[in-house]
């Protein structure tokens, strides 16, 4: 790791990394929630796929806060996590799960959406501050 690499990691907002990292943990919860709450039907498969996608996307955004070795902007993964959170909210109405899975998807989707949006906002604020100081 060169000196310039270490400097770029230090300029990353730790709060943006923490919020998107928390979204990764919530995505992991969504992944197992269908089985944990003994769900049936397409909602279980949906939660496994979307929960895994949220966990991977948010983990990627937390691991590479200022972009990555592959040409993906740092904000793109955060925005994808927000969109997956919005879809999780919508899926509660699309798949019409019974009982607690309905509320689980609403709350998990809202949490991922809010945390992802906060991470996007905080990372943009940090990028704006670092670009004006350099």
Residue 49 included in any domain: yes
Residue 133 included in any domain: no
Q: What is the DSSP letter of 70?
A: S
pLDDT per residue as tens digits for the range 24-63: 999 999 999 988 998 888 999 999 999 999 999 999 888 8
Residue 131 included in any domain: no
Range of the domain at 59: 13-118
Residue 5 included in any domain: no
Total domains, the chain: 1
Residue with tokens 């740092």: 74
> What's the rounded Cα separation, in Å, for the pair 56 and 48?
12
Sign of CA dihedral 130, 131, 132, 134: positive
Residue 132 included in any domain: no
pLDDT per residue as tens digits for the range 82-92: 999 999 999 99
Residue 123 included in any domain: no
Residue 32 included in any domain: yes
> What's the rounded Cα separation, in Å, for the pair 54 and 73?
17
Q: What average pLDDT does the structure give for the chain?
A: 83
Q: Is the pLDDT of residue 81 over 80?
A: yes
> What's the rounded Cα separation, in Å, for the pair 13 and 25?
19
Residue 124 included in any domain: no
Tell me, yes or no, if the pTM score tops 0.75. Answer: yes
């Amino acid at each position: 790791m060169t000196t310039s690499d270490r400097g770029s990691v230090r300029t990353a907002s730790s709060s943006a990394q923490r919020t998107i990292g928390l979204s990764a943990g919530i995505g992991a919860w969504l992944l197992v929630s269908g089985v944990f709450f003994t769900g049936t039907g397409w909602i279980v498969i949906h939660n496994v796929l979307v929960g895994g996608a949220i966990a991977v996307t948010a983990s990627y955004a937390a691991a590479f806060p200022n972009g990555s070795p592959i040409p993906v902007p740092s904000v793109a993964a955060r925005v994808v996590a927000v969109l997956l959170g919005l879809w999780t909210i919508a899926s509660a109405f699309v798949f019409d799960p019974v009982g607690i899975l309905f509320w689980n998807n609403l709350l998990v989707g809202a949490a991922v959406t809010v945390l992802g949006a906060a991470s996007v906002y905080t990372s943009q604020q940090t990028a704006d501050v670092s670009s004006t100081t350099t």
